[in-house]
Each structure stands twice: as C-alpha cells, then as structure tokens.
Structure 1
C-alpha cells in the first residue's frame, strides 16, 4: 500500500509518502489511521485527531469506513475549504 501525506500531515509525519504493509485486520480507512498512529511518535501526532483528517483511496474521497487493500494508494490531508 502506498500512503501519501499532504500539508500539515506531511509536516508532522516528516515524510511525503511511504510504502507500507499493514496487517490483515486493517480493512478500512479508520483502521488504517489507528494502525498508522502506532507506527511512531510522529505518526501519533499526525493522526491524534482523526476528525481533522480527510482521506482519499485511489484518488477518490473516502469516508472512515471505506475499505482499503494492499494495492491501494491512500492519501491523508487536512479538510479542504473553498470559497
């Protein structure tokens, strides 16, 4: 799985992207967030408040219950505002 980080999420994690292999029980975006938060103190800081994050799976916006799979690209970023 390829994970991309944008904006302040990238700043907190300290990298723009990484290739990961989460365990089989990580089946949706919410479980991925919980698993990533346990990877390092930097990840924990970035994922401390999941309500402040948005996700996209394979370049489509995805809610927390959206499934994820081994070959997916998952991006995390702050909420987008427009005007």
Structure 2
C-alpha cells in the first residue's frame, strides 16, 4: 500500500510517502495506524495524537474505523481549518 503523509505528520515521519506491505491482520484504518506506530520512533511520534489525524483512502476522506478493503493508498494529515 502506498502511504502518504502531509504537513506535521510528514515532518515527524521524515518522508513524504512510502510503500509498505500491510499485514493480513490490519483490517481498518485504526489497525493501520497501530501498525505504522510500531515501525519506528518517527512513526510513533507522528501518530502519538492519532485521534487528531485525518485519513483518506484512495483520496476519499474516511473515519478511522473504516475498512481498508482493497484501497491502494492511505493519506494522513492534520485537521484542516477554513478561513
């Protein structure tokens, strides 16, 4: 799966995007976040406040309880504000 990071999530992880093999037990966005947190200290720091992170699967905004299904891309970004 292609994983993309934006804004401070990208800064903490240290890369803009990466491709990972998603383990079979990772079924939801929340599972994916938990898996990413376990990869290393940078990922753990990026997802420390995971409830604040917004997610898109294949460019569609979803909640963290959404199933990954056969999504090809997950994007993680901080909350957006309008003005």
RMSD: 1.1
TM-score, scaled relative to structure 1: 0.95
Count of aligned pairs between the two proteins = 83
* 2:48 alignment partner in structure 1: 48
Provide runs of 4+ in structure 1 moved above 6 Å.
Answer: none
Gaps of 5+ in 2: none
Give the stretch that moved more between structures: 8-17 or 65-74. 65-74
CA deviation string 1:42-69 (max 9, x = no partner) = 0000011111100000000010111114
- Aligned to 2:11, the other structure's residue is in SS state helix
TM-score, scaled relative to structure 2: 0.95
CA distance in 2, matches of 1:4, 1:29: 13
CA distance in 2, matches of 1:69, 1:38: 21
CA deviation string 1:15-50 (max 9, x = no partner) = 000000121010110000000000010000001111
